[in-house]
Amino acid sequence: MSAKLFKIIFLLSANVVLFIPPTNAVQLDAVVNANVAFSKETEIYKYQYSVSSDINNTYNIQIIDIDIEKPTGSKNLPNQGLMIIERNGTQTEYENYWTLKSKGFPGLMQSIIPVGFHPPDNWVAVPTMSLSVSWAATTPFGESRHLIRPGETKDGFELTSYGLPGIRIVRLYVSVPFAKLLEEAFNKAYQTTPPEEMTEEQVVAINKVVRDETSIRITTIGPTSPQKNFVALDFINYLISLRRQAETHLWITQPSIIPALDAKLDLVKASLTANNNAAAITDLNDLINEVENKKKVALTSEAYILLKFNVLYLREKLLRSK
């Protein structure tokens, strides 16, 4: 193997599970659906994802990568009861898993939301230095039967966490022929054929081409952590921003309900501004009822999950402050 090829593979392997070379002919579109279940007993959220590959895609989807970076200033979340389930079904407790992995991922544990993760059959799941979890299809002997083919849907991608639902980015990567790597990637970055040896700057540029040419970014929901210092007014402003983002991402399927949602959010904010927590709790109950009434009718699962669980979190904080 040439030095230049080794450098590229080494750099990419730090960011993704399997090696994915670029191509100029990638047609890639997909839908990521998210659902969340919450256990009152354990206070753990289970995030479940499905990925539907567009029928017109030119390649199979091989990697699903979800951001789990810990926001600046956010509280540290517990990890008790979170399990890492590996491809062979082996279950490892979160702390034990990271005791084994920490040498290869220095500082990573402090920079991410604690999550358990579970791959579908014939997929693997690992944390990455990009502060994400990657699920990757196995390809024994170069076979593609476990990849997500155009027109197919795959579910079974799971995270568990104490983290509240928030806005997250999923990046989907396709699998393309290895032989396309050097010439196409280098041509894309430098408009010329690759030299025998490449500089580190050139290797970084090649990596960017790989990332851009073989993947798409999709907004979804995933675990995050609220701010360490809870301020009710700050949190209602955050809730208002979530409502607006739900609209931006077309998760509110009937825009006619937006004025009613906004009016109820404004009532909560006015009550909190007046230091009237009792009234704010009543207003939050009304908001929860509105969200429940509109689920499946005017809200996608993503909008419903974002609004419901964050409203419940704010209500619980206010109830405990009595």
Q: Are 184 and 23 in contact (CB under 8 A)?
A: yes
pLDDT reading at 72 higher than 60: yes
State how far the Cα of 134 lies from the Cα of 17, in Å rounded to an integer. 7
State how far the Cα of 147 lies from the Cα of 12, in Å rounded to an integer. 20
Provide the pLDDT confidence category of residue 90 given band limits of 50, 70 and 90.
Answer: confident
Strand, helix or coil at 93?
Answer: strand
Give the pLDDT confidence score for residue 244 in this predicted structure.
98
**What does residue 93 show for φ and ψ, rounded to 5 degrees?**
-65, 150
pLDDT reading at 290 higher than 50: yes
Share above pLDDT 70 across residues of the chain, in percent, rounded to a whole number: 78
Give the pLDDT confidence score for residue 6 in this predicted structure.
38
More confident residue, 196 or 280: 280
Give the pLDDT confidence score for residue 145 in this predicted structure.
82
* Nearest residue to 39 via CA among 69, 75, 67, 80: 80
Predicted TM-score (pTM) of the model is: 0.83
Give the pLDDT confidence score for residue 18 in this predicted structure.
37
Provide the pLDDT confidence category of residue 19 given band limits of 50, 70 and 90.
Answer: very low
Distance of CA 307 to the CA centre of its chain: 17
Give mean pLDDT, residues 4-31: 50
pLDDT reading at 60 higher than 70: yes
Give the pLDDT confidence score for residue 138 in this predicted structure.
86
In this structure, how many other beta carbons lie within 10 angstroms of the beta carbon of residue 185?
Answer: 25
Least confident segment among 99-108, 211-220, 273-282:
99-108
pLDDT tens for residues 181-193? Answer: 556 666 666 666 6
pLDDT tens for residues 228-252? Answer: 999 999 999 999 999 999 999 999 9
Q: What is the mean pLDDT of the chain?
A: 85
